[in-house]
Amino acid sequence: MSGRLADKVAIVTGAGSVGPGWGNGRAIAVIFAREGATVVAVDRNADALAPTVDAIRGEGGRVEPRVCDVTDSASVAALIDEVRRDLGRIDVLVNNVGGSHPGGPAQLTEEAWAAQLDLNLTSVYRMCRHVLPVMRQQRAGSIVNIASTSGIRWTGSPQVGYAAAKAGVIQLSRVVAVQHAPDGIRVNTVVPGQLHTPMVEARLAHQRAGGDVQALLQQRQARIPLGFAGDGRDTAYAALFLASDEARFITGTEIVVDGGMTARCD
């Protein structure tokens, strides 16, 4: 199969979606498959994963669905062992799992804080911990971690656990990139801004706009200099570039995908 990821095996976590449309994980999985990868589409929810799998197979792509909870170490270890056994190698890892919880330190319970770090940051560590030995043995690999503009700027809502975790993802990526550069492994981060993904309708509008989806979309769009909201496909194309051999000389850095939002002063 031809394409920018031809004959590569790519694991994409969080490949399901909370609703119709282009979430980051679904878009990454579909676009990677279009570019020739065998996509190991991972999610903890089989029902959320099914439409992604159907979309890839409907286009003639290659996909291996796997149910795995990336907050569980045993589940992650079993997943990587299975992929290595069944597919022989892991060329690309995209760590896409994440989700926000509102509140600053005075509002966020210690339990919620710990859960935010586990979901958004420790999950990346767990996947890297088990995938890196495979890539080191191959002497090649590309890891793309999905962070958020919340990790580099105030983006309109107090969500300190999420913001701290996503900032951690960016620095984790830089450190691992330098450590494993001699092994032929590249590690980079995509930093999406306020995209219109299914999460807007499923969760964020209820948290921030009293359930008014259009009001939230207007608030978010007003912050974007380009004047429109991207979606998961914009994240996916940035991840595709970083995963591909076109980015062979790029490691330890970030691509911000936000329509210019974080470059603004107001």
Separation between Cα atoms, residue 73 and residue 221, nearest integer Å: 38
Q: How many domains does the chain have?
A: 1
Does residue 52 lie in a domain region? yes
Does residue 58 lie in a domain region? yes
* Structural domain boundaries, residue 114: 9-198+232-258
Does residue 210 lie in a domain region? no
Does residue 1 lie in a domain region? no
pLDDT score at 60: 98
Mean pLDDT of 53-58: 98
Does residue 135 lie in a domain region? yes
pLDDT tens per residue, range 62-112: 999 999 999 999 999 999 999 999 999 999 999 999 999 999 999 999 999
pLDDT score at 198: 83
Separation between Cα atoms, residue 262 and residue 118, nearest integer Å: 26
Tokens of 183: 């092994």
Separation between Cα atoms, residue 162 and residue 147, nearest integer Å: 10
The CATH number given to whatever domain includes residue 33 is: 3.40.50.720
pLDDT score at 246: 98
Mean pLDDT score of the chain:
94
Catalytic residues: 162
Instruction: Give the phi and the psi of residue 247 in degrees, each rounded to 5.
Output: -100, 30
pLDDT score at 203: 63
Does residue 213 lie in a domain region? no
Does residue 220 lie in a domain region? no
pLDDT tens per residue, range 104-150: 999 999 999 999 999 999 999 999 999 999 999 999 999 999 999 99
Residue 19: C-alpha distances to residues 23, 47, 54 (Å)? 8, 11, 14
Does residue 2 lie in a domain region? no
